[in-house]
Amino acid sequence: MNPWINYHHLNYFRVIATEGSIAKASVKLRLGQPTLSAQLKQFEDTLEVQLFERKHKKLILNESGRMALKYANEIFRLGAEMLEVLHDRMDSSRAHVQIGALDSVPKAVVLKVVKAALEIAPCSISILEGKGDELIRQLSLHQIDLFIANYSPSSIDGPNLFARSLAKIPVSMYGAPSFKNLRKNFPKSLDKVPMILPTKDSKLRLDLEHYFESANQSLNIVAETQDTSLQKLLGVDGMGILPVTEISVRDSVSKGDLIDLGRLPGVFEEIFLVSASRKIENPISSRLMKSLQI
């Protein structure tokens, strides 16, 4: 049988962790130190996990404690937001939007989504980068409000997920100035040229493999990574050329670190904004899902 969380105990733990000691927390909570100490022990016994390391009468959060505090803060934030929404007192100036983004999504795209959210209403925004399966899990559990991806999740990923296309961006090949000779006879010039590609779990990677196979050209992959920032670093270093959207490398091109070698015909990167159905929608993420274009 799973332990049932006593939210009074959760709050006591949260205050103790925030204040750094039972003595300070007892003053804030107006409870005696022995009582508060007993409540904390009861909470740890219920969880069957120790949350603090006790050293020289000091309480130091351990790894489990740090994780528990993260969840506790979010639980109480959501509780306050729920009361505001239920009583129709949602103050947009205090709204909070949590956005997940694939590592492979251009940072410039994430920036556009953030700016669009701030234009809707004053808000605070949390951005979490990671892998698709983990971000979809968090979206389904309502731990994040939106997910920015370069693919549209299938019904297998989640029956209550909704995706809309934000943009379909052409892909070009970029490289250090030393690769400028590839502009001649492009794209035939790309045969066996060292390349930095996204990993195989990327839709763009599949599209690229199909393109080069159809063109009877051999791929010479020297590195593969989903992180577009790392792709750029490797490209600027001259390790190989990379297939990316113009928006991803605009800063590097303006500095002269990378040059545009040519556009790959018929190859695009499509960006999607994904949400999950929920009883009470975040008003800002709902607006973004309905109207955002980049």
pLDDT value at position 72?
87
SS3 of residue 61 by DSSP? strand
Judge: domain 7-86, CATH 1.10.10.10: yes
pLDDT value at position 84?
61
Calpha distance 150→105 (Å, rounded): 6
Instruction: Respond yes or no on whether the N-terminal peptide bond of residue 187 is cis (omega within 30° of 0).
Output: yes
Query: Containing H/E element for 99?
Result: strand 95-102
Calpha distance 166→83 (Å, rounded): 33
**Residue listed under structure tokens 């990574």:** 225
Residue 144 C-alpha from the chain's centroid: 9
The bridge status of strand 242-245 relative to strand 161-175 is antiparallel
Sign of CA dihedral 66, 68, 70, 72: negative
**Residue listed under structure tokens 């605009």:** 250
> Could you tell me which residues are beta bridge partners of residue 172?
244, 263
Which pair of tokens denotes residue 201? 């779990």
**CA 84 vs CA 8, 47, 144, 282, 294: distances in Å:** 21, 30, 19, 12, 31
pLDDT value at position 2?
61
- Which long-range contacts does 205-212 make (Cβ < 8 Å, 24+ apart)? 207/267, 207/268, 208/171, 208/243, 208/264, 208/267, 211/264, 211/266, 211/267
Which residues of the chain are in CATH 1.10.10.10 domains? Answer: 7-86
pLDDT in tens, the chain (294 residues): 566 788 889 999 999 988 888 888 899 888 898 999 999 999 998 888 899 988 776 788 999 998 888 888 888 877 776 776 666 555 545 678 999 998 888 888 899 999 999 999 888 899 998 888 889 888 887 888 999 998 888 755 666 889 999 989 999 999 999 999 999 999 999 999 999 999 887 888 999 999 999 999 999 999 999 888 899 999 999 999 999 999 889 999 999 999 999 999 999 999 999 998 877 778 899 999 998 887
pLDDT value at position 54?
80
Dihedral pair phi/psi, residue 220, rounded to 5°: -115, 90
In sequence order, what DSSP letters do the residues of 107-169 get, joined into one string? HHHHHHHHHHHHHHS-EEEEEEEE-HHHHHHHHHTTSSSEEEESSPPPTTT-TTEEEEEEEEE
The architecture in CATH of the region 100-163+274-291 reads 3-Layer(aba) Sandwich (3.40)
Determine the CATH number of domain 168-271: 3.40.190.10
Q: Report which residue type is found at 145.
A: D
Do the Cβ atoms of 160 and 142 come closer than 8 Å? no
